[in-house]
Structure 1
Amino acid sequence: MHLQTLTVDIGGSGIKVMVLDAAGNPVVDRDRRETPQPAKPEAVIDVVLQLAADKTFDRVSVGFPGVIKQGVTMTAANLDLDWIGFDLADTLSHRLGKPVRVINDADMQGLGAVSGQGVELVITLGTGLGSALFLNGVLIPNLELGHHEFRKGQTYEEQLGRAALDRDGKKKWNDRLLKAIASLQNLFNYDTLYIGGGNTKHIMVELPANVRVVPNVSGLLGGIALWRD
């Protein structure tokens, strides 16, 4: 059976969708809308429904910026407190009439990027800072690295999120990124670090040989992996 998958990437600034074929190849171009403000569940779901309205698909994969447990959003630091404890998978499944699986957005980005060899770490640079860890291609879920202390009493997200980039400028932000990469290498001893997210376009420094910038579309392409049993 050649099932088509609608993949949804919910972010603090934008909501993106794409339809993938059974092999994980895009069937249509990526579609995007601004994330509504405030980003409450009903408002975000309405945007997803609008983006899905003209597309043909059999199932849905969703990347969400927070901890996910059995389709329920447990945290949502960059959206709205109303998301805490919200059953996104069940609600969206009822609204779309299709089966839905939900995963952390950085986890989904990683599933679309990693090679499956050794220890692989993924960070996403956007409104906040997402993270995902893989061992030989197996996901270790719900790694919320962004909220851990990094330097000067601030978290990785406070030093590398969009607000810090806008406030402190690209040079300081890039300097901090290199410091973060060195810290993460010492912490995880990873084989490869993948950096994704919309703010990768602001990276101006030379990165270590085992660090790779991955395209934003990886956050959608990883959606096919949610249905591999």
Structure 2
Amino acid sequence: MQIFGVDIGGSGIKGAPVDLARGDLAAERHKVLTPQPSTPDDVAECVREVVEHFNWHGPVGVTFPGVVTGGSTVRTAANVDAAWVDTDAAALLGGRLGGVPVTVVNDADAAGVAEMNFGAGQGRKGTVIVLTFGTGIGSAVFTDGVLVPNTELGHLELNGHDAEKRASHKAREDGDLSWEHWARRVEKYLRHVEMLFSPELFVVGGGVSRKAEKFLPLITKVRAEIVPARLQNNAGIVGAAMHAAQHRS
């Protein structure tokens, strides 16, 4: 069975049909830049463009980079326009897509569910934390495979700032930081999260996971096992489709 997944990020919006039996994309993903400003209407138009690229007319699962409650309502919007707050995202996107069923889920939660089912967290018990390093830092916390939704650990304080302002991949790029310098920031962040949650495993995802060999070996002062996400930057798309499949009426 295939369902379409869309991953809305602070810098890009990407999507593809997903083969739910394999937990992988069924076609090469299509990506567009996140509009600036990233208002609900403008982002919805980009989502429509991604979906129509595949001439898709069935259910669509969508991730959002913020807290999503009640399966539809956006509560925070740190890396997209503040006009998203209190928006019924499923209704907005469903209308823009011609009335097809749409579900919406936090982006890191979607990526985490995909990694726990098909990726680096598969079969792991205890506390597992999936972190996505991109425009911000997304988090998904699991205890014996059960998700604690909307944790938003990227907004923990680090050196007087939101952690994602110091340790996201965007912070590395904006500051032109070396991999060594950035790894020290990531390590400090991971140690803080470890102090709070004592996880057995960190799964590091987001686009930067493709370059895990450049920074993960430099992180040596964290007790938990640290591994790169197996689905890399496709995890959000896969998780969005899984969420849609689970909530089909």
Same-fold status (TM-score > 0.5): yes
**Residue number in structure 1 paired with 2:13:** 15
Tell me, in whole angstroms, the C-alpha distance in 2 between the residues paired with 1:73 and 1:26.
26
Shift of 1:109: 0.5
Tell me, in whole angstroms, the C-alpha distance in 2 between the residues paired with 1:155 and 1:54.
36
**Residue number in structure 1 paired with 2:119:** none
The 3-state SS of whatever aligns with 2:135 is coil
Question: 177, 183, 205: which is aligned to 1:169?
Answer: 177
Indicate whether 1:222 and 2:216 are aligned.
no
- Give the root-mean-square deviation of aligned CA atoms: 1.9
Answer whether contact 2:134 2:170 (CA < 8 A) is retained: no
Indicate whether 1:74 and 2:75 are aligned.
yes
Answer whether contact 1:159 1:176 (CA < 8 A) is retained: yes
Shift of 1:205: 4.0
Shift of 1:158: 1.6
Q: What does 1:5-44 correspond to in 2, within 5 Å?
A: 5-23=3-21, 24-44=23-43
Deviations 1:128-181 (CA, angstroms, capped at 9, x unpaired): 11111111221111101111212x212211211245312151232111111222
Tell me, in whole angstroms, the C-alpha distance in 2 between the residues paired with 1:78 and 1:89.
19
Answer whether contact 1:6 1:57 (CA < 8 A) is retained: no
| Structure 2: segments with no counterpart, 5+ residues | 117-121
Task: Please identify, of 117-126 and 24-33, the stretch whose mean Cα deviation from structure 2 is larger.
Answer: 24-33
Q: TM-score, normalised by structure 2?
A: 0.84
Indicate whether 1:123 and 2:131 are aligned.
yes
Tell me, in whole angstroms, the C-alpha distance in 1 between the residues paired with 2:130 and 2:73.
22
Answer whether contact 2:20 2:242 (CA < 8 A) is retained: no
**Residue number in structure 1 paired with 2:192:** 183
Counterpart code for 2:60: V
Tell me, in whole angstroms, the C-alpha distance in 2 between the residues paired with 1:76 and 1:195.
22
Shift of 1:185: 2.0
Shift of 1:95: 2.0
Identity among equivalent pairs (%) = 38
Q: What does 1:87-98 correspond to in 2, within 5 Å?
A: 87-96=88-97, 97-98=99-100
Tell me, in whole angstroms, the C-alpha distance in 2 between the residues paired with 1:51 and 1:89.
16
Answer whether contact 1:160 1:176 (CA < 8 A) is retained: yes
Task: Please identify, of 78-87 and 54-63, the stretch whose mean Cα deviation from structure 2 is larger.
Answer: 54-63
